[in-house]
Structure formats: structure tokens, C-alpha cells
Amino acid sequence: MTKSSGTILDGGSRPDGRGAGTAPRNSASDATSLHAIVLAAGAATRFGSPKQLVRIGDRPLLSLIAGRAAEVVGQALIVVLGAQAAELAPLLRHSPACIVVNRFWREGIGSSIRAGVAHLPASCDGVMLVLADQARVTADDLRRLAGTWRRQPLSIAAARYGATVGVPAIFPRYFFGELGELKGDTGARRLFTRHSDFLVKVPMSSAAFDLDTPADLLELNRSEAN
């Protein structure tokens, strides 16, 4: 398997998401008790090639998103890879991220969430889920989300864009069990409905954009140039 400076763990040893261990703890994560999981395991079939490799400005998309998450959580960062994992892992060679390889990525995003959550350390009080294709979500957006959650650490803090509530989102430890049981391609959205009394919505218009197709990339580059 391709090596990087981050630890590479097998996150697909069991369909229930229990992996080979946990991400290494560090002083930053112990201080904040917040970890981030960047979900980057998909095959990008609509894009036609690994979109994680696409350069946004001077950086590949995956490196850019992982870097923004690291600005908020430091070394308390997990990146879940799946399709093209060996090709993508070198993009994180300068990242503090722990890389988890989800061998069940074809099951959908639920399997990647399971894989990431299975590697959270016992000290973790909250986990931020971040999609690797939300190219317009900035580090400042993630800081606002984290700040909201820290003021209400028993709540789920989720991005609101238009009529949609979704990721990025932070879930407190109480919900790790349910995250670890997710299946299919609906992700964590069902928890927003099931636990609406615990939900805090953080306005984040940037989260409405997903880089799914070459046309999306053209739109992004056009807006970045203006």
C-alpha cells in the first residue's frame, strides 16, 4: 500500500465498521475533544475520473479539504479513502491526517462513516463529518460550526443551506453508536430527522455546492476567477 506521513489503517475489516484500531491521539485533540472525518472514498463516477485529484488553485481537492479541516482540529483528523486509495494517499503525505481505507466503499457513504467512527479515540467528545467534494466550504465555515457545537456540546451542529440541513455536521459522542450503524448511501441525514430536538442549524450557503461533474468544476473555476 502507498505510504504517506499519515498512519494508514484498514477500515474495512468488518462490515459493521469495526476496524483495526484508532487514530493516534495528540495534544490538540485532547484539548478540544473534537475530531474531523473527511469522507473521500467514492469512485466519482459522475465526474469520470478521481475528482479528489482535481487541482483547485494550486492544490489537489483532497489536500485542500483535508487542510481546511486540519486548520480547525489539528492532528485530530481522519481521512477515509476507498476507490483509488493507493493513488490518493500520497496527496496527504504532508497532512497530519490518519488515513483509513474503507474496503467496503461500494456500499455507500454509510460504510465510510462507520469506518471513520470506528477509529475515533476514546477521548473524542465530538466528530465533524466533512465531504471531500464540498469545495466551497472554507476553514472559517468549519470554525463557525465548531464554535457553535462547543457552546452546545450535547447538540448536533449541522450546516443549513436553503431548505437543506446536512454536512458538514458535528455529532457528540452520544450519537457515535448510531453513526457506526449507518448503511447505504443516505449518510447521516436520517439522524437530523430522528433527533431534531438536538439539532442546531448553522447557516452555511457554501455547503450547497458539491463538485460532482466537470460542469461543476467549470463553474467553480469561473467563480474563483471573478
* Residue 225 binned pLDDT confidence (cut-offs 50, 70, 90): low
Give the integer Cα–Cα distance in Å for 111 and 153: 25
Q: What are phi and psi of 164, to 5 degrees?
A: -100, 140
Give the integer Cα–Cα distance in Å for 49 and 143: 31
Tens-digit pLDDT profile for residues 47-84: 767 889 889 888 999 999 999 999 999 999 999 999 99
Tens-digit pLDDT profile for residues 128-170: 999 999 999 999 999 999 999 999 999 999 999 999 999 999 9
For residue 185, what are the domain limits? 8-225
Give the integer Cα–Cα distance in Å for 114 and 109: 9
Q: What is the pLDDT, as a whole number, of residue 153?
A: 95
Residue 192 sits in a domain whose CATH number is: 3.90.550.10
DSSP E strand boundaries for the chain: 8-10, 34-40, 55-56, 59-60, 77-81, 98-101, 126-131, 156-161, 164-172, 199-203
* Residue 120 falls inside a structural domain: yes
* Residue 85 falls inside a structural domain: yes
* Residue 2 falls inside a structural domain: no
Tens-digit pLDDT profile for residues 77-130: 999 999 999 999 999 998 999 999 999 999 999 999 999 999 999 999 999 999
Name the domain count of the chain.
1
* Residue 3 falls inside a structural domain: no
Give the integer Cα–Cα distance in Å for 45 and 49: 7
The reported pTM is: 0.86
Give the integer Cα–Cα distance in Å for 121 and 115: 13
* Residue 1 falls inside a structural domain: no
